[in-house]
Each structure stands twice: as C-alpha cells, then as structure tokens.
Structure 1
Amino acid sequence: MAANATLKKRMADLGLTQEELANRMNDAILKITGRPGEVSDRTIRNLLSGSTVRPIARTCAALEAVFGCPVEDLGFEPPRSAARQEDPVRRRTFIASAAGTATAGLAPSLGAPKRVGAGDVARLEAKFASIIAEDHKYGGLVSTETRACALAGEALSLLQRGSAGQRVRNNLYASAAGFMSSAMWAAIDGRRFNEAQRYLDRASTLAAMSGDTTITFRIWSHAGTLYRHLGRPVDALAANDVARGLPIARRDPMFTSLGHARHAAILGLTKDAVAVERAIGCAQSAYSRADPEAQRPTWITAFYDQAEIESLALTACLALGDFEQAEAHAHRGIARLRPHMRRSRAIATARLAHAQLGQGDIDAAVATAVSTPSTHPRVARMLQEFGNKLSVQAPHSRAAKDWNDRTSTRRDTS
C-alpha cells in the first residue's frame, strides 16, 4: 500500500492541512447533495496513506471541486462507471459551479488545452489584479486568503495539465507565488500569523522556482511586515534586507523606495530615531528618482505612492513616541490616499487618533477614533488599544465617557 504522494503535493501547493481539506470537501458535498458532508480527518488520512485508492463518487466530486482537476490527476482510480452515472448532469453542473467558487473560475481540466501559453498567464494576471483590488477595499478577509490559495492551485495545475515553454512555466510559477503572497498578506492583515508563516514558506519556494525577482521582493517585504507585527524587529530587518538586496531593488528606484520605507517602520520598534529618519529620507529620495511611466507589476503600482511613504513614516513615528511628527505624516498621507484605498484610510485614521491621544489632545483623538470604521481586524485592535490608553490617560473626561458609551453600543449591537 503506497502513500498518495500526488495528493500530498497538491495539498501542499494549496497550503491545505488535513482538517482544512476535510472542511472544503464537506462544503462541496453540501452543494452536491444539499446535505452536510461527513468527511473527517480519518477520511483524509486514508486518502493520503493509500488505503483508499478508488474513492466513492461523492468523494471524487468533492475532490475535483476543491482541486479543479479529475481524481486521476490526484493519484486515484476513478469511481466505477455505474457510480459515475449517478445524476451526471447535476454532478457536472456542481463541479463547474463549485470549482468556480473554490478556485474563482478555474475551468474544468477535461476541457483544458494541451498547450499552455501566454493567454493562460494573462488570465491569471487579471485574476491577480482582482485579488489586489479586493484587498485594498477590505483587507484581511479570510475569503481573499482562500481565493488566493485556490488561484495558486489553478496556476500550478496548468503546469500539470499541458505542455508549456520555459518562459510560460516561469510565469506560471510566478503567478502561483503571487497568489500565495496575497494569501500571506491577507493572513497578516487579518492577524492570522500562523497561517501567514505557512504561506511565506510556500510562496518563497514558488518564487525561487520562477526566477522572478519582483515577486520575490514582494514576498520578503511582506515577511518583514509579518515579523514587525509579531514584535520581532531583528527577524523583520533581516527579511526586509533580503528584499532590499535583490537586483530589482537596485535597478528600479520605486522598489528601492519601498524597501527603505518599510525598513523605517521596522526601525521604529528599535527606538532608533536617527536610523528611522535616515530610512525615511532614503525612501523619499528614491521615490523622487523613480520613473512614474515605467512598467511595473500591478501589485506595487496599486498601492505604493507618496501616501504609503507617509503611512509607513507614521507607523515608525508612533513606535518612537514622536506623536507630533506622527500626526503630521498622518494628515499628509490621508490627504494623498487614492479613493480605492479604503483599508489604508481606516488604518491611517486609527493611527492618527493614537497620535493625537499621545499629545494629550483628548477631544480631537476621540473624534478621530469615532470616525474610524472598525470592521477591519487590525483597525478593531488599534481602536481597542486606543480605548485602553484613553482610560488610563483621561479616565474621567467627557470624551472618554463618550468613547466608552459608543464602544458599548457597538458591542451590544454586534
């Protein structure tokens, strides 16, 4: 009895644990039959160990929906023909719709072209742009994380289902790495740090296989942010140095600028005000040299601009306790934010409230905090920390009472 190495690899490609695969398959079975599935950890163990070589039709349909390919491509024997005749129209319809949900439009592999080309890469790039746009509107959503993982699986499945030239293969690995980096970012933004670490490992491997230094930059730059949120500045600086040392960071001042700006945010944790000021200055200088018309990946053009430099400088100054300078960066950054940057606006506004509170401007701080949408996980945590600081700094003020009344109402109605 040989273990199913193919299924194990495909699970790793999507970053799925046994429990997560069971949950996704149960969701798929619910769509097939209208009743909850009964796939358990034991079921998955049997599939992986090789104990189950010919899953029943219902299990096959769920596997095909999750992975977007026939069970034969997952290392299994197909169910017997009699089982495959069970309501075939309904089954085909389900697989198409469920695969669309699970993989955001993955075409069934039975109709896939024999030759994978630039058109397939372009379609993936369009989906990547959609993931990025969704992130900037909302940020930190589990659905974004899940969709990005599924799309990474779609990119990798194209490599298995058709032949491709070296350039296309590299682009497909880069696409998969890009989607995994978006899953990683969604997990970081949603404060799901264990998942983010797992995505980092997979994304960095895929990026290395692609040879694409721009997506490698994104991954290690995100890693620096991950470790900054974990309060590990040494690891954060080291990860960001990997990004800053890549050829793209030397060749394109836009990447150089982003590397310095994120370094400044990390250096704030070290309380080195001189190093922070130097890094912000380097970020600003490099940004002024960058050609705004140069061709760059969507992920960097969608967010990196003067507003982001101000935002990262704001983060650094808050960490240093330089609240007056932090407020100045906050106002400049918010004024420059593009309309689609809803998540960034909420985060910057919450940070502005902290900067105002740090200067003792209680009324302005509370007014700013009240105006901040609290649906984003990071923002909700920042507002909770704001309330804790307010209760220490001015527990008996009218503004503190108003804030406590408002937050109590939010909890009662949530």
Structure 2
Amino acid sequence: MRFSPVFLLSWALQASATILQNGQAREDPYPGQAPSISLEDGSWRSYGPDASEISYKGRWDSKYVSWWSLPGIKLGFTGEQLALSFGPQTSEGVLLAYRIGGLDWEFSNVTANATYQFAGSSTPGLNLSNNNTFEMRVTNWGYGVQLSGVSVASDAKLVAAPAYNKTVEIIGDSFASGQYATYEGLSSWAYNFAAGLGDVEYSITAYPGICLTDEECYADKARGMTYQWFYASDAGVRANATYGDHPEKWNFSSHQPADLVVIDLGTNDRRPQNNIPGSTFYDSYVELVNSVHKTYPNAQIVIMSLWGNFTRSGDTYIQSPFYVSEIQRVSQHFQDDGFVHYFGTKGILQHNDIDPQEHPTDVGHLKIASHLMQWTKLKLGWEFGATGPEVQHDTLYWNNQDSYR
C-alpha cells in the first residue's frame, strides 16, 4: 500500500521493468513501441495541447500534466499519421497504453521533450476514408506526461471524439490504482469495472499509500483523500516536488459530473504504521461522502468493504476484513438519503488472489471487477457494455516486480 525511499530510488533508476509470467520473463513485455521522430520535414500539421478536439480523461492540471491513475486523452483524426509531443514535466520512460478504436492496447515508453509517432500507414485499424479514434492512457500511477502537442499529416486534421453520456469515478488507493498488477492501472479492478460497463467515461482518482483520513500516512507527508480529492494532483512524491504545499485546485465544474462514484479506501488507515482510530475513520468517511454528494448531487455512491488480510489457520486461510463496523455505520448514516450503497467484498477473494506484494493479482482484480459489475447491474440497473473494445490485456496470475515504467 506504500513505497519506501529505497523503493523509489530503485524505481527511478530503472529504464524499464520485467514482466514475469509465473516466474518467467515475458519476451516482449511492451509490444508497440512508438518511434521518436522530428516534425521539421513539413509533412505534419500540429495542434497545441489546448485544442478543443483533444478530450482529457482523468485528472490533468492547467499545464497539461497528468496525475492520479490511468489519466489519458481521446481524439479523432483523419489521414494515416498521428504523433504526440511531450513536454519537460514528462517522467523519463513512462509507459503509455494506446490504441486505435477498440483494438488491442499497444504499449510505448516515452520521455520528456520528445515526439513519438503512434499511427502510420501500416498501423492496424486505420480507416483512411473516415475519422480514426485514438486513445492513450498513462499506465503507472507514479509517473505522468505533459502533453505539448498533437500532430497529424499536413493534409489531415483532428476531430473531436464524442463523449459518452454516463460517467464513473473510482476513488481509492493502491488497490484501485493497480499497484503490482501487470499493467498497473490498466490491470486494476477499477479500470476493468468501469471499462466493462461499456459506453461510459471514467476517472480513477486513486494513489498508493493514501489514507481516507487526512493524516501524514507512512510519514510521507501525504494528505488524506478528504483533502486531496479536491485537487488536480495526487498525494505522491512527484506532485510534492511540483507543487509543494500549494497544489492546484481541481475544477469540477469544467468536467462531466459523475453518475456513479465508487469508494474503496481505508486499508492504509488500518495499517500498523498509521493505525487511525475507528471513530476518526468513521468521521472522515462521512465527510468524504458528504463532499462527493455536494459535488455530484445526482450521483449514486458505492462504498466498498475492505477485504483486509488472509492468515493461515490450520489447513485453511481466514479472511480478516478491516473497519467492518465503521463502514457499515457509514452506510447506515446515509440509509434514508437513498444515494449511498454498500458493496460487501468479503468472500470474493481467496488467499491466492493476493500476490506476493500483498495486493490483488490480475485474476484478483478481475474477480472484484466482475462481482461489482454484476452488483451494479442488479442493484442500480446499469447494463454491461460488450460492444467490442478490449478491456483486459495479457492477463497473468501476477507480476512480482516492484518497479514499472
């Protein structure tokens, strides 16, 4: 649920990471590396990051720097060429997932002050007579990009990609952000749940190590979600280096309001290093729900129980959830209001759905997502969206690496 200074150092020094398939290194871990190019030959038409045709997904600040888990962009374009340029606040070697339309995700490392070509004449899925839809997501919660421009062929143009009518926001910690899963954010239960609903917009406001309560959890000087949810940036080291004690406010009014908000928080509060008292945790949870409801008055809010730990007892394993009575009390507090719903996770995961880093495996993430999808359909009347675009990519049992690009 957190990262140490030693981990951060080793993480920063690695240009790329190994993906393990049950202990075996994957030969081609990141298919789809985009070439670095120059735009100086006159064959390109360029747009600034403020172009109206670019739709930003998740949270980005006013300098077009991405934050939190799985932020991205979506746009349409004509022709057969597309390139993205990245500014100085782009993390070195950050891994992006990208695709044309609903085809398989491809992956490419990019870095600061460089331009990469993501579509060319041989790119699968290009429709040269009509608009192409391009989507890009930052896979890792700890890194980000600064978009400085988008370029197409000189005789082509950008077009806006239509937005979906429904919006989902997931608020969470390392579990929702997919820490230690194969493709982190793109392997998380939060992504699998939201994307599995089909034609919905989604934002994953999640970051490892964050507490629900506004405390300095793990002594990393990170603010809790009751505070950080109101800001564009997350509670991590990169954000602290960028903003210090003066983060940029998130402008909720300039974005599509959420119709459904799912909250999965509290595991960090319960960790021995933090040990937030139950009464404080309860008060903070009520505060967060009230903030979400005030911001999105028409949204349904789902609060998830915490699956906690699995410990061996004789010839089996026993699950020990966290803050059971406190989260149930939060649900009861809002019972008569009708907009808060309780989703119990106990029994969904087994001990072997938790990887060696104490987080869900890829399969564990899928279990959570599929149960929550079915619950959302039965309880709230949302439909599944098996309309063609790929959701999960290269599912494995686990990736036991602690460094990602």
Which is greater in Rg?
1
TM-score by length of 1: 0.31
More relative contact order in 1 or in 2 (CA 8 Å, sep 6+)?
A: 2
TM-score by length of 2: 0.31
